[in-house]
Amino acid sequence: MANKANLYDVSKCTACRGCIIACKDWNQLPAVIEPFKGNYCTHEDTNGDTFTIMRFIEEETDPADDVKWHFLKYQCMHCFDPACMKVCPQGAYTKTDWGATFHNPEKCIGCQYCTYACPFTIPKYRKREDKITKCTLCVDRVEAGLTPACSRTCPTGALSFGDRHELLAQAEERVKFLRANGFPNATIYGKLELGGLNMLYLLTDTPDKFGLPIDPKVPGQITFWQDWVQPYFGWLIPLALAGSAFSFVTTRILAGKNGEHAEGGHE
Amino acid sequence: MQLVPEYRADVKRVERFNFVARMTHWGHTVTFILCLLTGLVLFLDSADWLAVIFGGFSGAGLVHRIAAVTLTIFLVIFVIFDFKGIVDWVKDLLRFGKNDIIFVMKFPLEFLGFPVKMPPQTRFNGGEKGNSMLTPTSVILLVLSGYIMWFPAIFPAGLVRVCYPIHDIAMVLATFMVCMHGYLGSFHPGSGESFWGMWKGTVRDDWAQHHHPIWYEETYGDKADKDAE
Amino acid sequence: MKVTRRQFLKVTGATAASFAVIDLGFDLKATAAGVMELRTKNVQPMPTICPYCATGCGLLVYSERDSAGKFVKLLSVQGDPDNPINRGAACAKGSAMFNLREIYDERTGEQVINPNRVQKPLYRAPGSDKWEEKDWDWMLDEITKRVVETRDKAFTHKEKLADGSEAIVNRCERIGSMGGSGLDTEECYLLAKLMRSLGLVFLETQARI
Amino acid sequence: MAGLSPSFGRGAMTNHVVDLKNTDYALIMGSNAAENHPVTMKWLTKARLERGAKIIHVDPRFTRTSQIADLYAPLRSGTDIAFLGGMIKYIIDNKLYHRDYVVNYTDASFIVKEGFSFHDGLFSGYDPDKGQYDNSSWDYEIDADGKYVSDPTLEHPRCVFQLMKKHYSRYDMDTVCNITGTPKNKYLRVLEMYTQSGAPNKTGNIMYAMGTTQHTVGTQNVRSYAVIQLLLGNMGRPGGGVNALRGENNVQGSTDQALLFHIIPGYITSPTNSPAHKNLEGFLAKETPKTGFKVNQPKWVVSLLKAWYGDAAQSENDFAYHYIPKRDANKNYSHIAMFEAMHRGELDGLFIWGGNPVVGGPHANKEQEAMCNLKWLVAADLWLTESADFWTYQAWDRPASETKVKKRTPKDIQTEVFFLPAAAVYEKEGTATNTGRWVQYRGKAAEPVGDSMPDLWFIYEIGKRLQAAYANSKDAKDEPIKYMTWGPYGNGHEPDVVEVGLEMNGYYVDNPRKPVPGFPKLAADGSTACGNWIYCGQMTTKANGDLDYKPMWRDNKDNSKTGLGLYSNWSWCWPVNRRVLYNRCSVQPDGVTPWPGDEKRQLIGWDPLAISDPLTGKLGKWVGDDVPDFNTALAPTEPGGINPFIMRPEGKGCLFAAKASTKDGPFPEHYEPWESPFPNLMSKQNKNPAIKVWEPDKQASPEQYPIIGTTYRVVEHWQTGALTRNLPWLAELMPNMFVEMSEQLAKIKGIRNGDKVIITTIRGDVEAVACVTKRFKPFIVDGRTVHQIGTVWHFGFKGYAKGDPANRLTPHIGDANTMIPEYKAWLCDVRRA
């Protein structure tokens, strides 16, 4: 299948949050009720049973009388080169040929390495199953020829699923239109970030206004860990074992040759 | 083929390690090995067979955590009951001097079995000092980063992220030292006697005199008598 | 070998409490998360119309039926792509209609009937502080008795009009009926006929509030 | 509803949801469409994408609708008429009205009788002590042979147009902005943008909901939309219309079936004990207008009586007209009146079919107290609602500082409560009529939970048992129950929905299985029975003779040749499947040429060659993709040929609401809400003179309660929250009751975002979480700063998401015509809890 993507066009979104619930309906996720503390979005972040959340960020632009209410649907970005896949000791992550970063719960042992490798800290630990969970881009639906649950339910077409290059072309078109019509710094997010994402955003303002990192990076420690420590550093142990074995042999041979009596006392 | 020199009860022996130090050492050895084996399950990609022994990955995870907690307890007991021993140990480390450097430089030859004349050593020779500096720091790093990784939600994400490489590096260093220390402390001719120092607490008087003259003098030799008056 | 919690306690001879071991991060039940094949494969959904706002979006209810076709449990409720009003879309409420009947339990993740749904007719006696479960026949008979009793006690059959003449008014002002905007149109029709035939004039629906 | 029928003849949404994609300008006012009717945004954003449509949102608060709108303007709650009055003046002064449309299709040219006048806030005929108008002076001049005198040049000083011009000349920009608190530049931009829909080739539609109607001037709010839409020529055209977005999924169906005290099925006034209604003949004479389509009312009433009482309704006994109760003419039975009577102990029994007054009713504290006086209560719902549990300890929890509500315990409440567990929407069959009048079918997809049953079943069972109870009563008062047709409706355990549908649709008495094809076929001689004339035509027969219920039709091809999205074969829509009402206006008066530049939006046209009557072979017929809202055989040139509003006696769109059609004035006039911090800057008359006041003493004083309060909903919950707060997924999105306030007000009161606060009114206190936001701004009104807060009214003490009901704050005061409570503007104060 061609490389797919989910495009989220903020300028069409009314934050009806149908996507969040359709995701829960399809992926059979229980509700996680956290108290309201003054923002419509009651979750700080996604959690083990909530694959996607909708952020509400208010901004006062000048002249002072204009208010902007930025909405952002936040979920796994399905990176081309996923950091989660890189760190997972069990190889539970695979990248489907059409672009979804798929996590196979059967292989997962709940070590949570991926949570902190992800530049967006998306994969979350589900305690009752001792497993990691995250948005699957509805692998089962897409491979059965359907669209993901969130884009299928989106009333205004803010979320659309399809071939990535086609969506990018549409987005380029749309961003030109938006820049000319009242949204001067509309941007496309996900085309180049982290080498490209299978989740594309069409933002009406700069990414930081939506709580998205302008230039996301895989955290330095993780790269160091995975590229240097894991593959090479480990060889010290066999080195030590080999050294000891070698010494074990040579000391006995030399001892025998020099006729000493290798008992505990003197040389 | 004599692996570890025979325990000579009939020979004059001097005490090398007290009971708490030894109990901590061997408790630490067992738990560290357990942690190592169950930890390698994640570190090595092809270690699935290892996981099977511990009943699958979740089993390995469980044993790893049990062993880690036990290890921590041993350390705590060690600190509480033999704090003076630790202080002496550190003091000895601080005496790291010329002799120790020479010892370390000559050590590879001795390691391979060539007879080598070593300068007089304190309670812990140059190599042991190195080991005493490297292994405890690695273990402390292991324990700290271990608990942080166990409860990541409590700690800032940045700190949790840095724990992964630290845990691995510390594990590799500690294991490297353990391999050398394990071999040297038992099967290596010459230093084999120190096994009994750790196992039963005493070493042969003549061995101590020869291998650790400064230590011997200060504790059991003349200087000790002078100090005792 | 699965180390169960009890075995673990035996092995270390110490209760978890003494170690203040908060949680050893293991779980007894390994979930056999099946490979992700389409849950609703070859399931024939039933179209319905959303019970919430009056836009009238169409939804498809996927339910699992046994070989005899008897209903087993719900699978999913999604927008109806054929309905021209919403073309398969559904807002937060429309998408949540699955929960009208069944929910996923927060602790176990299992699919259970929504515990808030009332499954039996309930009766509260005057002054009582609890509900009692009753069967349908008893409830409907008692309701009928109350209606007849109140209606017969306070019914105006005839009345003298402003111009002095007398006419049948058939009015009962001591019983009121409200609600109905959430019912189906046929239900509203029967309800209107029944209430008016009883002589009710306090007849209201949510249109006015 | 009560604002639409005086203007156009029908009280329903004029276009429909999908039609929004044909609009050029959408004014969303008195509605938060993106949150409370989210899927309408699918079509508005499509209109914006494909037609470059502009979306305008006017609301006291910047909401999710404002975020997607092209232009947002704030206004103080309760000042809609000032805002729109200014727009009417702007349209007239700048000649932006659609002249041909106004002259031909509205009553602008009609001359008003001498007696009419308007002076300082009051129209002619006001009786101060009765507090009501004698509206006989609001009438047109009729010439000798009964025709309306009119002046097409619109110059005559007493023609409707000139009177309106004079009336709204007082609504100049400064006065309006002074009242509404809207910044002048924004107000001007709204006027400029929306009035562009007056161009012949453009249409604009107004979307409104409770924000417009839930005021003491609610009806007149809707009337002002009608006036603007008629002036701009937007009525009866695709993408136009006054679109009432109704809140409940089947409120349209329930009002069609007349679950309201003032009507009987089909929007026919319900009989009263006034002498004129003494018998059927008198009733029909009084209620049937001389002109307009309603002349057929006798057919509809007789058919209704035949459907309800079958053989017991014969021409000899007035078709059992006396079986229908006659309400007391000068007594009010609206929701507020019912609970006021209940509070006085005048009601013994109450049925609640899926309602929840303890959360949704105005002045919820008083309504909850009123319920304690009931002897018995029957509540039917899916869950135990706050109203079903009104007697529990929890029901009487109030904020600690509350002194206005007497604490009660179950022991003090003697009401017997019968709770009937109802089946959910997809656990039963049935139809629902959406806001666009589409009657759509709902299939049964699951078994009801436990012993819960469909409402149809237990309503039918109660009816059967009542008939059994009165079976052998000889008393005349019991005849209506005994002879009510309560047929088996199929032979299943539950009544068959299609059978009930047949009775609603109507059948021939001598051939009960043959559905009547349409209400023109209904007869007044008792040969036809029809439960509801506007639903006549929803049933037909298949080839094999089985009943074919049109709401089940699912052909979703758009039958409009120009892609207007009519979908005439998808389900069925009353009346007679006409999708856009008053569509005669979508073509010029000559019936043939479309409005210039607007060819694609012509819905119907006069075809002189088509055969209108096969028997007589008469030529000339109205044809088109949509069912013509016109007498199909009446040529445009014949008299009445240019009267698109067939349900109005005048046949025209009414700018001037003549005579009995409204109780508080033929032209909308601004009055302040019942509880307002300001006197009326427009005239000496502060409040709407024609409203009924139940509790004169319970009027909050601005000194003690300086802040304006309003109530509204969020997309995640629905109405009283019973059907959403019991759903974990929705409770997760909106778990607690909150109140939104401006940052400025929060600073004054020392409140931080997320704090617990208490909102107090003269009626009660409510606790909520403070949501301090930039989206609420204080208003500068008449030079003074006034603050406004907004409360979400879904919450109650049941369900997964809990909170105090905001309606413990709202007053028991209603609109003059409909008695709909003034939820949207009242006075309160707020402080930290």
Write out the two tokens for D503: 């009775």
Q: Which has the minimum average pLDDT: B133-137, B197-201, C67-71?
A: B197-201
Distance, CA of A219 to CA of C192 (rounded, Å)? 67
CA closest to C49 among chain D residues: D442
Helix, strand, or coil (residue A61): strand
Helix, strand, or coil (residue D229): helix
pLDDT of residue D498: 95
Question: Do A188 and A166 fall into the same domain?
Answer: yes
Distances (CA, A) of A58 to A13, A62, D723, D755, D773: 15, 13, 30, 18, 8
Tell which of A203, A218, A233 closes a domain: A218
* Structural domain contains residue A85: yes
Distances (CA, A) of D202 to D52, D70, D118, D246, D592: 12, 18, 34, 26, 18
- CA-based nearest distance A157→chain D, Å: 7
pLDDT of residue D449: 96
Nearest to C205 by CA among D216, D334, D31: D334
Distance, CA of A32 to CA of A41 (rounded, Å)? 13
Q: What is the DSSP letter of A226?
A: I
Report residue D243: phi and psi, to 5°: -100, 100
Question: Do A41 and A76 fall into the same domain?
Answer: yes
Question: Do D707 and D783 fall into the same domain?
Answer: yes
Is the ipTM, as predicted for this complex, more than 0.95?
no
Question: Do A142 and A230 fall into the same domain?
Answer: no
Average pLDDT over residues D388-410: 93
From B57, B111, B172, residue closest to A247, measured CB to CB: B111
Question: Do A125 and A240 fall into the same domain?
Answer: no
How sure is the predictor about D696, in pLDDT bands with cuts at 50, 70 and 90? confident
Q: How far apart are the first and last CA of chain A?
A: 73
Q: Do β-strands C71-79 and C58-65 pair in parallel, antiparallel, or remain unpaired?
A: antiparallel
Question: Do D390 and D417 fall into the same domain?
Answer: yes
Cβ within 8 Å of residue A222, ≥6 positions away: A83, A86, A87, A116, A117, B161, B164
- A66 or D604, greater pLDDT: D604
Cβ atoms of D390 and D371 closer than 8 Å: yes
Question: Do D49 and D67 fall into the same domain?
Answer: yes
Distance, CA of A113 to CA of A116 (rounded, Å)? 6
Average pLDDT over residues D72-82: 95
Average pLDDT over residues B185-204: 85
Nearest to A135 by CA among A249, A26, A219, A56: A26
Residue D745 burial (CB count, 10 A) = 20
Distance, CA of D803 to CA of D792 (rounded, Å)? 10
How sure is the predictor about A266, in pLDDT bands with cuts at 50, 70 and 90? very low
Question: Do D432 and D483 fall into the same domain?
Answer: no
pLDDT of residue B55: 81
Average pLDDT over residues D743-771: 95
Question: Do A236 and A119 fall into the same domain?
Answer: no
Tell which of D466, D494, D510 closes a domain: D466
How sure is the predictor about A265, in pLDDT bands with cuts at 50, 70 and 90? very low
Cβ atoms of C176 and C152 closer than 8 Å: no
* Structural domain contains residue A63: yes
CATH architecture for residues B13-228: Up-down Bundle (1.20)
Question: Do D474 and D458 fall into the same domain?
Answer: no
Cβ within 8 Å of residue A238, ≥6 positions away: none
Helix, strand, or coil (residue C178): strand
* Structural domain contains residue A263: no
- The pLDDT of residue C32 is above 50: no
Task: List pLDDT tens digits, range D366-376.
Answer: 999 999 999 99
Question: Do A149 and A229 fall into the same domain?
Answer: no
Question: Do D617 and D751 fall into the same domain?
Answer: no
Longest Cα separation, chain A? 98
Residue type (1 letter), C198: L
pLDDT of residue B71: 94
Write out the two tokens for D782: 């008449």
* Structural domain contains residue A213: yes
Q: Considering only CB atoms, which residues of chain B are within 8 Å of chain C?
A: 55-56, 58-59, 61-63, 65-66, 69, 150-151
Arithmetic mean of pLDDT over chain A: 90
Distances (CA, A) of D51 to D28, D191, D471: 18, 20, 64
In sequence order, what DSSP letters do the residues of D492-504 get, joined into one string? SSS--HHHHHHHH
Question: Do A237 and A118 fall into the same domain?
Answer: no
Question: Contact A58/D66, CB-based, under 8 Å?
Answer: no
Question: Do A244 and A167 fall into the same domain?
Answer: no
Question: Contact B150/C1, CB-based, under 8 Å?
Answer: no
Helix, strand, or coil (residue C75): strand
Question: Do A208 and A241 fall into the same domain?
Answer: no
Tell which of D466, D501, D518 closes a domain: D466
Q: Do β-strands A4-9 and A199-203 pair in parallel, antiparallel, or remain unpaired?
A: parallel
Q: Which domains does chain C have, with CATH numbers?
A: 46-113 (2.20.25.90), 154-208 (no CATH)
* Structural domain contains residue D644: no
Q: Provide the number of structural domains found in chain A.
A: 2
- The pLDDT of residue C8 is above 70: no
Distance, CA of D737 to CA of A122 (rounded, Å)? 29
CA closest to D530 among chain C residues: C189
* Structural domain contains residue D152: yes
Chain D residues 167-196 within an 8 A CB cutoff of chain A: 183, 186
- The pLDDT of residue C3 is above 60: no
Residues paired with A59 in a beta bridge: A68
How sure is the predictor about D282, in pLDDT bands with cuts at 50, 70 and 90? very high
How sure is the predictor about B117, in pLDDT bands with cuts at 50, 70 and 90? confident
Question: Contact B62/C24, CB-based, under 8 Å?
Answer: yes
From D428, D439, D818, residue closest to C208, measured CB to CB: D818
CATH number of the domain bearing residue D410: 3.40.50.740
From B55, B69, B150, residue closest to C19, measured CB to CB: B69
* Structural domain contains residue D567: no
pLDDT of residue A267: 43
Cβ atoms of A60 and D774 closer than 8 Å: yes
CA closest to D729 among chain A residues: A31
Handedness of CA A172, A175, A176, A177 (dihedral sign): positive
Question: Do A246 and A188 fall into the same domain?
Answer: no
CATH number of the domain bearing residue A105: 3.30.70.20
Question: Do A112 and A43 fall into the same domain?
Answer: yes
Nearest to C102 by CA among C140, C158, C63: C63
- The pLDDT of residue C36 is above 90: no
Question: Do D164 and D102 fall into the same domain?
Answer: yes
Q: A46: domain range?
A: 4-218
pLDDT of residue D351: 97
From B2, B58, B165, residue closest to A224, measured CB to CB: B165
A neighbour chains, 3+ CB pairs within 8 Å: B, C, D
Distances (CA, A) of A66 to A109, C46, D45, D72: 50, 46, 21, 9
Task: List pLDDT tens digits, range D152-186.
Answer: 999 999 999 999 999 999 999 999 999 999 999 99
Arithmetic mean of pLDDT over chain C: 85
Domain edges within chain B: 13-228
- The pLDDT of residue C11 is above 60: no
Residue type (1 letter), C119: Q
D141 Cα distance to chain centroid: 31
Task: Please tell me the total number of residues recorded for chain C in this structure.
Answer: 209
How sure is the predictor about C90, in pLDDT bands with cuts at 50, 70 and 90? very high
Tell which of D434, D466, D498 closes a domain: D466
- The pLDDT of residue C109 is above 70: yes
Identify whether D575 is preceded by a cis peptide bond (ω within 30 of 0).
yes
Q: D275: domain range?
A: 252-329+470-551
Q: How far apart are the first and last CA of chain C?
A: 65
- Among A52, A54, A101, A140, which would you mutate to test the C interface (most chain C Cβ atoms within 10 Å of its Cβ)? A140
Is there contact between B and D if contact means ≥3 C-beta pairs under 8 Å? Answer: no
Average pLDDT over residues C5-14: 41
Question: Do D199 and D55 fall into the same domain?
Answer: yes
* Structural domain contains residue D565: no
Distances (CA, A) of C178 to A166, D256, D259, D810: 54, 15, 8, 19
Cβ atoms of D233 and D25 closer than 8 Å: no
Distance, CA of D117 to CA of D623 (rounded, Å)? 43
Q: Burial, D784: exposed, middle or buried (Cβ in 10 Å; 0-12, 13-18, 19+)?
A: exposed
Question: Do D438 and D483 fall into the same domain?
Answer: no
Distance, CA of D790 to CA of D740 (rounded, Å)? 5
Query: Across A106-120, A155-169, B185-199, which has the greatest mean pLDDT?
Result: A155-169
- What percent of chain A has a predicted confidence (pLDDT) above 70? 95
Cβ atoms of A41 and A53 closer than 8 Å: yes
Question: Do D209 and D112 fall into the same domain?
Answer: yes
* Structural domain contains residue A264: no
Average pLDDT over residues C108-132: 96
Beta strand spans in chain B (E): 13-15, 202-204
Helix then strand count (H, E) for chain A reads 9, 10
| D772 lies within 8 A of chain A by CB | yes
Distance, CA of A150 to CA of B156 (rounded, Å)? 31
| D780 lies within 8 A of chain C by CB | no
Arithmetic mean of pLDDT over chain D: 93
Distance, CA of C130 to CA of C122 (rounded, Å)? 10
Residue with tokens 């009883």: C198
Question: Do A121 and A249 fall into the same domain?
Answer: no
pLDDT of residue B224: 59
| C64 lies within 8 A of chain A by CB | no
Task: Please tell me the total number of residues recorded for chain B in this structure.
Answer: 229
pLDDT of residue C7: 41
Cβ within 8 Å of residue A11, ≥6 positions away: A158, A174, A178, A183, A186, A202, A204, D68
Average pLDDT over residues A57-83: 89
Question: Do D314 and D340 fall into the same domain?
Answer: no
* Structural domain contains residue D556: no
* Secondary structure string (H, E, C) spanning D443-492: CCCCCCCCCCECHHHHHHHHHHHHHHHCCCCCCHHHHHHHHCCCCCCCCC
Distance, CA of C36 to CA of C31 (rounded, Å)? 13
**Angle, vertex CA D259, rays to CA D256 and CA D260, nearest 5:** 100
Cβ atoms of B206 and A265 closer than 8 Å: yes
